[in-house]
């Protein structure tokens, strides 16, 4: 297990010890590492720095919920939060916009990959 910003990442073998099902593809982060199945959404928000970039609400507008219910009723990763970015140039600044859970996991995955690459690059620059 690896700890990253308060999140636990398991190898597929470690994952099998805590969860009998195969890991969902949305939980795949890097190489053979998967986000722990019991990770709270608040921990993911904190790891991707969502609070620093804007405000969010777990409740989505009823109209949006009614229109998109069939998309996520069987897939928890397609559910959404309502996000209000601080950056005035970003879409949804005034009225907010949905961010799907799988999108947050993609942001997290990209962040882990960038930081791993930067760490690798830094280590190899010190050697050379």
H or E stretch at 46: helix 41-48
Show the tokens assigned to 69. 């219910």
Q: Give the length of the chain.
A: 128
User: Among 19-28, 40-49, 90-99, which stretch is predicted with the lowest mean pLDDT?
Assistant: 19-28
Conformation bin of residue 31: beta by default, left when phi > 0, alpha when psi is -120 to 50: left
Mean pLDDT across the stretch 79-103? 93
Is residue 8 pLDDT above 80, yes or no? yes
Delimit the domains of the chain by residue range. Answer: 2-127
* 51-72 tens-digit pLDDT: 999 999 999 999 999 999 998 8
Per the prediction, the chain carries an average pLDDT of 90
pLDDT class of 7 with cuts at 50, 70, 90: very high
């Amino acid at each position: 297990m690896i700890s990253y910003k308060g999140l636990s990442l398991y190898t597929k073998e470690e994952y099998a010890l805590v969860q009998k099902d195969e890991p969902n593809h949305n939980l795949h982060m890097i190489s053979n590492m998967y986000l722990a199945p019991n990770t709270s959404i608040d921990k993911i928000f904190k790891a991707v720095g969502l609070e620093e970039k804007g405000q969010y609400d777990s409740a989505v507008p009823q109209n949006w919920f009614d229109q998109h219910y069939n998309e996520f009723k069987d897939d928890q990763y397609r559910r959404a939060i309502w996000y209000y970015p601080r950056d005035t140039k970003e879409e949804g600044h005034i009225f907010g916009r949905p961010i799907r859970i799988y999108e947050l996991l993609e942001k997290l995955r990209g962040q882990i990959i960038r930081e791993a690459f930067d760490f690798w690059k830094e280590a190899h620059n010190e050697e050379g």
